Structure 1
Amino acid sequence: MTAMNSTPIDPAALAADYWSTSIIDIHPGSIQVRGYPIQELIGAISFPQMIWLMLRGELPGAGEARLLEAALVASVDHGPHAPSIAISRMAVSCGLPLNGAMASALNTLDDVHGGAGQQTVELFHIVERAQADGASLEAAVESSIDAFIVAHGKYLPGFGHRFHPVDPRAGRLLAMVDEAAAEGVVSGRYAAIARAIEALLKGRKSKPIPMNIDGATAVIYAELGFAPELARGVFCLSRAVGILSHAWEQRGRGERNKGPMPRQMPYRYTGHATRHVEEEGQ
């Protein structure tokens, strides 16, 4: 095989370059992840550490791994009324295998349901850039929030919760961030930004608008240096555990075609009253 300029092309080298990766190197009898033999990782590192290694290329420190693990644990599940969880249950009852139910559920984790963590990290970065331009923390937060609302509407990701007056997960996660900051594991600047946003919202609304799970985990992901998109990706890894758990429980119930609400509860029809084609033709 030759190119138009008659330069010889090595098909094997072309294919090797086409699928090049810095993540994993596999040969007969050998598997190396980011340069580490897999047998040396097995039993030596935790799953959160493996996630970090795969995404970031190096092993995290103990404090970093502890924060990542905390965020993963906190986001696993939020009850059968959460759309992704409900979809996993309905999918299983419609005959899908576990992997199909998981895929159906994970595909709902987009901007509205599942995207708030990414959006909150992006908001923190906007505030951070305003500070870098010379604004005080309070001024940076105020201008950034105003601009965000103009661009995206009044809903502010990471703050307030439709179900919990105070999200029971957020406080513990923030306390762990504070501990890590005191130990020099993270800077603490994103926790400060998040709390400044919380204070601004309280002042404007005359009532607390506390940080929720998305805001607290966004603090962790930002403090750990994860890109905004990875905040959503890692959340998907966490929520997949809840999705699998609910799908498996549903499998054991033997229900068929589980709908979004019990059959005994009718929906409300808001369309035309009964009409007939013959009458309309007159």
Structure 2
Amino acid sequence: MSDIDPTGAVAEWWATGISRMEPGVIELRGRPVQDLIGTTGLAPMIWLLLRGDLPGPREAALLEAALVAAVDHGPQAPSIAVARMAATCGIGLNGAVASAVNTLGDSHGGAGEQCVLLMDEIIERERAGAALETAAAQVIAGWPRYLPGFGHRFHPVDPRRDPLLSLVEDAVRDGIVAGDHLRAGLAVEAHLAEGRARPVPMNIDGATAVVYAELGFPAPLARGLFVLSRSIGILAHAWEETQQGRRNKGPMPRTILPAHLRP
């Protein structure tokens, strides 16, 4: 108890198990920060702060793979486009990044969280006695028309799917993760492929949802981790845009705006 908080009211008001700070002391989940600096990577630090302990090497590598996979998808992604436009408005990098992150909602950025919920429901039905294929069909039939985590408007097969799922398969084989969410995700893929000439494979949201769920992160953190990952690309695009010297960049090139098309 310090002299500036003799009753401990402030300390109790802001009580947290995440960090402790006193003069000369910074602890994160009970570990001195000086012991973590230079010895702990960013992915294990994310795990530590969210979960309270450090992951094993294979768990950390799997988490990092998912974070790396989702950093960017080009300026056609709304969050990236917003970052680039905002960066030309004079609000600085912090404002540009914040503006972009605030677009990561249910429709853009939320599919990973929704896909975990989808797979959770399939697993729950299977544990209640339904065959996996039956459970997947039942859940899909009751889901709204949009099925999160499957199909992609640009890629016939999302190039991030196979390497991520391959890592999960290796982790299942070696007993690092259980594999229930992987099986559920693949069951959805198989169901969606029935009767179709063109399959509907998992996209990045589905593949990272499998990774995060297999690692034990609850559905809302699938979105939170995606936000952390995509923030890297957002920052890079915002910084690149600031270097190009444009002001007030809009969604369309000025050369096709009505004022430029007058005879």
Instruction: Calculate the TM-score normalised by the size of structure 1.
Output: 0.88
SS of residue matched to 2:8: helix
Q: How far apart in 1 are the matches of 2:211 and 2:88?
A: 36
Q: Any residues of structure 2 matched to 1:76-155 within 5 Å, and which?
A: 76-148=71-143, 153-155=144-146
Question: How far apart are residue 206 of structure 1 and its match?
Answer: 4.3
Q: How far apart in 2 are the matches of 1:162 and 1:89?
A: 22
Question: How far apart are residue 105 of structure 1 and its match?
Answer: 0.2
Question: How far apart are residue 173 of structure 1 and its match?
Answer: 0.2
**Are residue 27 (structure 1) and residue 18 (structure 2) matched?**
no
Q: Give the one of 244, 259, 262 matched to 1:253.
A: 244
Where does residue 162 of structure 2 map in the other structure? 171
Instruction: Calculate the TM-score normalised by the size of structure 2.
Output: 0.94
**Are residue 192 (structure 1) and residue 183 (structure 2) matched?**
yes
Cα 1:15–1:206 change in 2 (3 A) is same
Question: How far apart are residue 79 of structure 1 and its match?
Answer: 0.3
Where does residue 4 of structure 1 map in the other structure? none
Q: How far apart in 2 are the matches of 1:11 and 1:27?
A: 15
Where does residue 61 of structure 1 map in the other structure? 56
Question: How far apart are residue 48 of structure 1 and its match?
Answer: 0.1
Q: Give the one of 27, 36, 41 matched to 1:41.
A: 36
Count of residue correspondences = 254
**Are residue 203 (structure 1) and residue 194 (structure 2) matched?**
yes
Q: Give the one of 211, 216, 232 matched to 1:225.
A: 216
Identity of aligned residues (%): 56
Q: How far apart in 2 are the matches of 1:210 and 1:260?
A: 31
Q: Which runs of 5+ in 1 are unaligned?
A: 1-9, 268-282
SS of residue matched to 1:234: helix
SS of residue matched to 1:26: strand
Question: How far apart are residue 188 of structure 1 and its match?
Answer: 1.2
SS of residue matched to 2:7: helix
Q: Which runs of 4+ in 1 moved over 2 A?
A: 10-15, 204-207
Q: How far apart in 2 are the matches of 1:83 and 1:11?
A: 50
* Paired amino acid for 2:160: R
Q: How far apart in 1 are the matches of 2:92 and 2:171?
A: 41
SS of residue matched to 1:191: helix
Q: How far apart in 2 are the matches of 1:120 and 1:158?
A: 6
Larger Rg: 1
Q: Which runs of 5+ in 2 are unaligned?
A: 259-263
Q: How far apart in 2 are the matches of 1:204 and 1:116?
A: 25
Q: How far apart in 1 are the matches of 2:165 and 2:43?
A: 19
SS of residue matched to 1:163: coil
Where does residue 244 of structure 1 map in the other structure? 235
